Amino acid sequence: MAELEIRDLTIRVDGSDILNGVTLDLEKGKTLALMGPNGSGKSTLAYAIAGHPAYEITGGQILFNGEDIADWTPDERNRAGVFLAMQYPVEVPGVSLTNFLRTAVNARLDEDKPVREFMGDLRTAMSDLQIDESFLQRSVNEGFSGGEKKRFEILQMALLKPQIAVLDETDSGLDVDALRVVSEGIDSLRGPDLGVLVITHYTRILRYVTPDEVHVMLDGRIVASGGPELADELEDHGYEHYVVSA
């Protein structure tokens, strides 16, 4: 059984149906890529998995370890092991990065990690992602560049040790150096205890984070599925092919 099972999911946002019956399985140890043009519903799926209150499940199920999580709050989902790296991480004024991370880690791991140990883990993870220590003095995402925000998302993923990570357009807005650092960070976290869903418009992140499966979403449905070669096909032919045949 896959840890995350999406079953015929339909989602409504602001009164419109954005997902129209999506079925997808993600198990630990696997990496899936979900590709599609803007407006196809990729991010909607991501937010629905994370439990954003604006995304209403109108049909189908999201199962995590066999349990329907529709009624779980976002924090319950994260503590259970579902992580969303956001496309647009928000600034939380006045909340220090250190305080935020420590609160989150303690909540997720359900323990009060000694400060020294926590800071040790934090410094290691920051150095892996080439994040300067001066960030520790800053507020969450405040004044971060686009690339810094994305690195910070992956830093959180490293510290929170999820079972399932959904990466929503983590590659967008990154220059090639930042993309490499972030991608290598993601790649280093992959392993038998983590399932990753990489949501992306372009294939470039997939050169670093090779997926086991590629799924193509259009108009709120998955219209094609295949192996990594499918991504190359999309690189060559774009999404128009699917638009025509849909």
Partner 1 sequence: MTTSIDTATPGVATEPTPQPTLDTLDEAHLASQSRDTGEPSWMADRRQQALSTWSGQSWPDRKKDEFWRNTPFARLVDVGRPLITGADHDGDHTVELAVGVVDHLDAPAATVTIVDGDLLDVRVDQSWADQGLVVVGLRDAAAGPWAGIVSEHLGSLTTTGHGSGADEDRTISANDAAWDAGVFVYVPAELEVKAPIGIQAHVTRPGVHQPRILVKAEHHATARVVLEHVGGDLGDVERTSRVKAPAVVNEVVEVIARDSAQVDVVSVNEHGDDVAYLALQKAAVHRDATVRHLSVTLGGATVRIRPEADLVGPGASAVYSGIYFTDEGQHFDVQPYMRHLAGHTTSNVLYKGALQGDSRTVFRGNVFIHKDAKGSDTQEDNRNLILTKGARADSTPFLEIECADITAGHGSATGQIDARNLFYLQARGIERADALRLIVLGFFNEVLDRIDMPVVAARAQAAIEGEIAMTDLDRVTVSEVAPNTPD
Nearer to partner 1, 106 or 145 (CB): 106
Identify which of residues 49 and 206 has a Cβ nearer to partner 1 in the complex: 49
We find the least distance from the C-beta atom of residue 44 to partner 1, in angstroms, to be: 6
Environment class of 20 (CB within 10 Å of its CB; exposed 0-12, middle 13-18, buried 19+)? middle
Identify the residue whose tokens are 């890529």.
33
Q: How far is CA 124 from CA 5, 28, 189, in A?
A: 33, 24, 13
Tell me whether residue 146 or residue 227 sits nearer to partner 1 (CB atom): 146
| Closer residue to partner 1, CB minimum distance, 30 or 42 | 42
CA distances from 2 to 26, 28, 102, 202, 227 (A): 6, 7, 30, 26, 18
Which contacts of 132-137 are long-range, i.e. CB under 8 A and separated by 24 or more positions?
A: 135/97, 136/96, 136/97, 136/98, 137/96, 137/97
Residue 41 beta carbon to partner 1: minimum distance, rounded to whole angstroms: 7
Shortest spacing between CB 102 and partner 1, in angstroms: 11
Residues lying near partner 1 in the complex (CB under 8 A): 13-14, 38-44, 47, 50-55, 73-75, 77-79, 84, 86-90, 92-96, 99-100, 103-104, 107-108, 139-140, 156, 160
Q: Which two tokens stand for residue 187?
A: 């790649």
Give the shortest CB-180-to-partner 1 separation in angstroms.
25
